[in-house]
Amino acid sequence: MESKFLTLFRVLFPSWKFFTGVTEIPALYYRILSEHGDAGPWLPVLKRPERKWYSVFFNPEGNLCLAVQSLFQQVEAEIGELEPEQVELFEQSVSFQLLKNLALITLRSERLLEPGISFQFKLNRIRQGDLSGSGEDFLISKAI
């Protein structure tokens, strides 16, 4: 409880370490499963917004991306703290529900939600700046 309280109020305890070293960062992917269980390719949930002439001053879409990226990092930290017996319970956590929500919103916006279709999502760890996009999976959801 104390750690949850500290997380919620962490803005009161500033951390000034920015871009201190190249690390691995999490990325969220989803894939469609057909009625027969055939799986489509893994596709990234987060798409880079287009840079506009005013983005230096006003950048809502870019800041939304950064907030989503923070969500992934928070989930990664939470998973890292889980005991083996808590892994099943993670699906009921707020973090997992938010990821599921994000994947659902992406599917809706791509008009991919059709009757009989299910989907999966996964979090994958990639090295910053690695444009090949291949990394290690550390969370794969069941078919939803």
Partner 1 sequence: MMTGVIMNSPFTALSAVAILTSISLVIQTLELLVLKRSYQENGIWDWNILRKEFSDLSPKFQTFADHILSYPNFFYLIWARLFASMLVFFLPGFLIFLFLLFSSLAICIRWRGTFNGGSDYMTVVILSALTVSSAFPDSEVVAQGALYYIVIHLCFSYVISGFAKLGSSEWRRGSALLAFIDAGTFSAPESIRRLLSSSFPAFVLSWTIVLFECAFPLSLVNREICLVFLLLGFAFHLANAYFLGLNRFLFTWLAAYPALYWCAV
Binding interface with partner 1 (CB under 8 A): 1, 4-5, 7-12, 14-22, 25, 48-51, 55-60, 62-68, 70-71, 74, 94, 97-98, 101-102, 105, 127-131
What minimum distance in Å lies between the beta carbon of 49 and partner 1? 7
In this structure, the dihedral spanned by the alpha carbons of residues 100, 102, 108 and 109, taken in order and rounded to 10 degrees, is -160
Nearer to partner 1, 86 or 127 (CB): 127
2 three-state secondary structure: helix
Side-chain half-sphere CA neighbours of 34 within 13 A:
5
Nearer to partner 1, 77 or 117 (CB): 77
Nearer to partner 1, 20 or 116 (CB): 20
What minimum distance in Å lies between the beta carbon of 37 and partner 1? 28
Q: Which two tokens stand for residue 136?
A: 């290690």
What are the backbone dihedrals phi and psi of residue 32, each rounded to the nearest 5 degrees, phi first? -95, 140
What minimum distance in Å lies between the beta carbon of 39 and partner 1? 25
Nearer to partner 1, 39 or 89 (CB): 89
What minimum distance in Å lies between the beta carbon of 13 and partner 1? 8
Please report the sign of the dihedral spanned by the C-alpha atoms of residue 42, residue 130, residue 105, residue 52.
negative
Q: What ranges make up the beta strands (E) of the chain? A: 24-33, 43-44, 118-127, 136-140
